[in-house]
Chain A
Amino acid sequence: MALELKSSDNKIFEVEELVAVQSETIKSLVEDGCADNVIPLPNVDSKTLELVLDWCKNHVDMKLDEEKLKEYEDKFIEVDQAVLYDLLLAANYLNIKDLLNRACQKVADMLKGKTPEQIRETLNIVNDFSPEEEEEIRKENLWAFEE
């Protein structure tokens, strides 16, 4: 059985139900009988949706081959930050637990072992503490600024 999904930029994707229900959100729609027409996904653009559906399809295909699946996942998540965040938010909106966890892990990997300065640079975070606040934070969390 095929379902039709519409991205935010009005592109229609036809997918097998088995693939689409990896998303708990879509799964509930199917179970409630609301999936007969095109399902609009206003929070996901076509570029991201295509990637997400690729993830879902491969998870159905490679379900029994753990090694192959891991290889796929590792390769899949090697994307630049912008795409990573889009995937994160899409996985959250569509409620696809394994994609959400993998994407979160990837972001965490970007943070681990780095000093605050390094993290700010990687994630483009602006340090909005005033000099006094900065001093206070440093005093309280001296260890956080060490290597």
Chain B
Amino acid sequence: MEKDGVEEAFDRFSNLPVPIIHRIMSFLPTTKDVTRVAVLSKTLNSVCHSYPILDFDQRSWKKIMGFDSFLDFMQKSLQHRRESNIDIEIFKLCVIDHDGKSDQRIDESIRFAIEHNVKELDLRFGDYWIRSRYKCYGQLYTLPKTITTKSIVVLNLVGLAFKFEDLIPSLNLVEHLSIELCSVSSNFTISSSKLKTLELQNCKGLKTIVVDAVNLQYFSHSTFTGSSEISLGDCKSLKYVKLDNTAITDDWLKNHLSKLLLLESLILKSCKILGEIDICHQKLKHLALLNCDKLVKAKIEAPNLVSFYFYNKSRFPVITLQCSSQIYADLILFGISPTNDEQFMNFKNFLGSFSHCKSLSLTLPDMELSLLEELRNALRSPLLSLKHLRVQLFSSSRSLPELLDILLCLSPYLETMCITSKYKENFEEVVFPLLFFCSFLGPSLIVLMYFSLVS
């Protein structure tokens, strides 16, 4: 815009209604951008003091100020706001360098948010990534006891220490609750008709979880120690359940599946007590059995199953899979080497469960390929109906023709095949359509195709 005598530039921004300026600010990507608006002019300075979203993330300020200055800065920012007395919508605080001791500035800021009827409260203490990766809790910050609020709808707590008895009275309106890497009391019992998502990840001291939430749709639980009892039977609306290192039994699974009729996704990771499971469910769409090492038998009857993920290190369970032909299966087969006939049959039958799958993805170290080779030598190829195959290998000691040979004998009626290798020395990622009748032709065709791909 030109600034000359006739066409005077006009500041329309500052004259926008305050809620619109706030809405514009909510689209700014960083806190720095948001706080820059406050230094532009007196008008905008006071508009910022009523901006209902507060995000104090120590990580953003680390390069500019130390831990102490950061807390002073936060305290001062809140002081400016006390006059305006506007409700806060979102309050986020992320502190990395604290030493576990209570700090008045931190406690004050949390109280401030609560006094101003905060709807979304997000408190994160400690370096999350290091703690998750190394499975340690480090210094935990004690949540001030005076959190009695009836306004919170979204609550995220990471790296805090508190007792559930002190927290639960404030959770009447909470719809999304996430508690991670906290030190808590042993019993978590909640009864709420508002709760929609619940995440309890790696909480120290948590032993029993009882949830009575008729509108709960999403539940995720993980622990470092693997010793929690969970009761979810009353949560009839559950659609997604993820359990990581949770000590659930075969009966628990059967029991809960019979009650959770709307369940669509079930992810069981490192559930080391499961031995023989029976999954019979009409609505289930996604199932993942990952690293459940004691699993011996799995009977899965799910006519609407669209995806199946399997990862096991120790043995091939006997899996009978009854599902739709639309299913996509992803199998990661690692470090297993059946050394006897029974195990070999097991493996053959296991692979055969997926012959009706629409598409199959196999991740194998080279050793597993020798198993597939064995299968090639078996009389009947197990994957007769398979149309789309994707194989990821971890070593490339086989050449492409050998590989194609093995895989085509395994599933002769493929339409597409995609082979990727972690080490792309011998061949590049290959995707090509295979015609139906090429399986009748010998290895010569495969060799030809290899050359044409390379050139």
Contact = CB atoms under 8 A, between A and B. Distances in A.
Interface in B229-272: none
Contact of A128 (B20, B42, B64): B42
B36 A104 contact: no
Contact of A111 (B1, B28, B61): B28
A132 interface: no
B335 to A, nearest CB: 43
B32 A125 contact: no
A124 B2 CA distance: 10
Nearest to B77: A140
A127 B13 contact: no
Contacts of B12: 81-82, 85
A100 interface: yes
A81 B20 contact: no
B61 A127 contact: no
Q: Enumerate the 9 nearest inter-chain pairs by beta-carbon distance, A residue then B residue, closest first.
A: A108-B27, A124-B9, A123-B13, A143-B64, A104-B24, A124-B11, A85-B12, A105-B27, A144-B36
Interface of A: 81-82, 85, 88-89, 92, 100-101, 104-105, 107-109, 111-116, 119-120, 123-129, 133, 137-138, 140-146
Contacts of B29: 112
B39 A125 contact: no
Given A125-B14, A125-B41, A142 B64 contact: yes
Contact of A116 (B14, B24, B28, B39): B39
Of B3, B27, B65, chain A has the most CB atoms within 10 Å of the CB of B27
Contacts of B33: 108, 111-113
Interface string B1-27: 101000001111110110010011111
B448 interface: no
A52 B43 CA distance: 29
Given A107-B24, A119-B36, A127 B41 contact: yes
B288 interface: no
B35 interface: yes
Interface string B30-48: 1011011111111111000
A127 B36 CA distance: 13
28 contacts: A81-B1, A81-B12, A88-B16, A89-B20, A92-B20, A100-B23, A101-B27, A104-B20, A104-B24, A104-B27, A107-B24, A111-B28, A111-B37, A112-B28, A116-B39, A119-B40, A123-B11, A123-B40, A124-B1, A125-B44, A126-B41, A128-B42, A137-B38, A137-B45, A141-B38, A144-B35, A144-B39, A146-B64
Contact of B39 (A89, A101, A112, A145): A145
Interface of B: 1, 3, 9-14, 16-17, 20, 23-30, 32-33, 35-45, 61, 64-65, 73, 76
Nearest to A129: B42
Contacts of B16: 85, 88-89
Contact of B41 (A128, A138, A140): A128
**SS class, residues of chain A in contact with chain B:** helix
Nearest to B1: A124
Nearest to B43: A128
A125 B13 contact: yes
Contacts of B45: 137
Nearest to A86: B12
Contacts of A113: 33
Contacts of B32: 143-144
B81 to A, nearest CB: 14
A95 B337 CA distance: 65
Nearest to B76: A140
B365 to A, nearest CB: 40
B205 to A, nearest CB: 39
A142 B73 CA distance: 11
A112 B32 CA distance: 9
Given A137-B39, A142-B64, A88 B20 contact: yes
Nearest to A114: B36
B36 A115 contact: yes
A104 B43 CA distance: 19
Nearest to B27: A108
A88 B19 CA distance: 12
A105 B45 CA distance: 20
A56 to B, nearest CB: 20
Contacts of A116: 36, 39-40
A127 B73 CA distance: 23
Contacts of A126: 11, 41
Given A100-B23, A108-B33, A146-B64, 16 more contacts: A81-B1, A92-B20, A100-B20, A104-B27, A105-B27, A108-B24, A111-B24, A116-B40, A124-B9, A125-B41, A126-B41, A128-B43, A133-B42, A140-B76, A141-B39, A143-B61
